[in-house]
Structure 1
Amino acid sequence: MSKRTIVITGGAGILGQAVARRAMDRGDQVVLVDRAPITDQIELAGDVRVGDVDLTDPQSAADAFAGIAEMCGGIDALLNIAGGFVWETLDDGSVDSWERMFAINLRTAVVASKAALPWLMKSDAGRIVNVGAAGALKSDMGMGAYAASKAGVARLTESLSRELLGKVTVNAVLPSVIDTPTNRADMPDADPSDWVAPDDLAAAMLFLASEEARAITGALLPVTGRV
């Protein structure tokens, strides 16, 4: 198979790097896109780094993806990993948190997908893989803003898969708690072996991004470890 160009938003993060390492191991050309200024001095897996990109801004995203496509000769897959989390009750929290979760979890996926579409539709196997959340199916206390934004990612995945049917597949993974240093610090009494290892989640995402997953679109794939 010819080398495919895989664009990873949030590419400098824990999950982004797990995906990047796996994709590079299988011979893909990996492009990291991040809000942070990811310079060559920072040690990261990835062939191309595009930092200082505001994925809530359509123009910033359009400029970044046009540059990527020109540099790499196109785009074959977009993995929307950029996002964030907040645990906050409505009583004690801020209404602004709902807007912030919408912006960083849903708006970034919408903006990045729209910016990448011209090149994904030219690929022989265009793929979009989003990161939703198992908690969006059944939320819990303090999870309202986060779960609502991730429920939006699920609806985006379903609607866009129908819009692009026969042209680009669109799927999402729905992880439970991911085993990251931040989650270990925030939940010191939990057993991380029950959680989802970033590398396992990366494997599921890259399968959905592969040429072999041509028959799968509109799927919301639970990746929940032992939870």
Structure 2
Amino acid sequence: MSGRSIIVTGGFGALGRVVAAAFAAQGDRVARIDFAPTAPDSLAGGVDLAGVDLTDAAAVERAVAEVTAKLGGIDVLVNIAGGFTWETLDGGSIASWEKMFTMNIKSNATITKAVLPAVQASAAGRIINIGAGAAVQAAMGMGAYAASKAGVHRLTEALAAELADSNVTVNAVLPSIIDTPTNRADMPDADTSKWVKPQAIADVILFLASPAARSISGALIPVTRGQPD
């Protein structure tokens, strides 16, 4: 299955870069799409589209058209782009709920809709979303984030059912805390050995994109086991 065309949204972030590099390492052609104005690095043979607002349908259509033209189609979409906030309902704002739903569910639905024709034209299309373990059982301060990620879970299930008679599978990976520089800076006293490494998540995503996972669709797969440094 090497040589496929892959889109990774949030491709300039800590997890997105690892996932994009993992696909590229096995011979796939990768387009990284991100809201950030510039890429922090480059990916050999890849396509980087910066400054793309994934909630803007017209901008997304242009980005998808560019990727399709440059890579010759789209076989796999990995939706990593999103955001996080921690605040209580009493001490927070309703604007935060709107922001989380915009960043986590609207962005996902917008680009997924845009790529559907190309992915359905693939011999083995794959859509892989990033959900959240925190959306299964929300803790204090996680309401807005968890609710928006629960929306990603429901989108995953509904789209899998919608595409059940096609060659496309739709699944979601549900990580616990991801071991990123930002999370380490935000939680300096945490036991990071219990956090999930980005490469571990990438390994699961590569599996879901592979022929071995052809009969898995509509699954919400927890990825929660940490590793010592």
Give the match for residue 63 of structure 1. Answer: 62
CA deviation digits over 1:31-86, x for unaligned, max 9? 100112235xx423361111121101111111110111111110000000000100
Equivalent AA in structure 2 for residue 54 of structure 1: D
Equivalent AA in structure 2 for residue 150 of structure 1: K
Give the match for residue 200 of structure 2. Answer: 200
Q: Give me the TM-score of the superposition, normalised by structure 2.
A: 0.95
Of residues 215-224 and 42-51 in structure 1, the stretch that sits farther from structure 2 once superposed is 42-51
After superposition, where does 1:168-187 map in structure 2 within 5 Å?
168-187=168-187
Give the match for residue 118 of structure 1. Answer: 117
Give the match for residue 50 of structure 2. Answer: 51
Kindly report structure 1 stretches of 4+ aligned residues shifted beyond 3 Å.
none
CA deviation digits over 1:102-149, x for unaligned, max 9? 000111110010011010000001000000000101000000000000
1:72 and 1:182 map into 2 onto residues whose CA distance is 32
Give the match for residue 10 of structure 1. Answer: 10
1:80 and 1:223 map into 2 onto residues whose CA distance is 16
Q: How many residues align?
A: 225
1:69 and 1:210 map into 2 onto residues whose CA distance is 20
After superposition, where does 1:19-38 map in structure 2 within 5 Å?
19-38=19-38
Q: Is 1:224 aligned to residue 217 of structure 2?
A: no
Q: Give me the TM-score of the superposition, normalised by structure 1.
A: 0.96
Preserved contact between residue 120 and residue 127 of structure 1 (Cα < 8 Å): yes
CA deviation digits over 1:2-57, x for unaligned, max 9? 51011000000000001011111111111100112235xx4233611111211011
Q: Is 1:163 aligned to residue 170 of structure 2?
A: no
Note the C-alpha offset of 1:226: 4.4
Give the match for residue 98 of structure 2. Answer: 99
Instruction: List gaps (5 residues or longer) in structure 1.
Output: none
1:210 and 1:38 map into 2 onto residues whose CA distance is 30
Give the match for residue 210 of structure 2. Answer: 210
- When the two chains are superposed, the root-mean-square deviation of aligned CA atoms in Å is 1.3
Instruction: List gaps (5 residues or longer) in structure 2.
Output: none
Equivalent AA in structure 2 for residue 9 of structure 1: T
Note the C-alpha offset of 1:211: 2.6
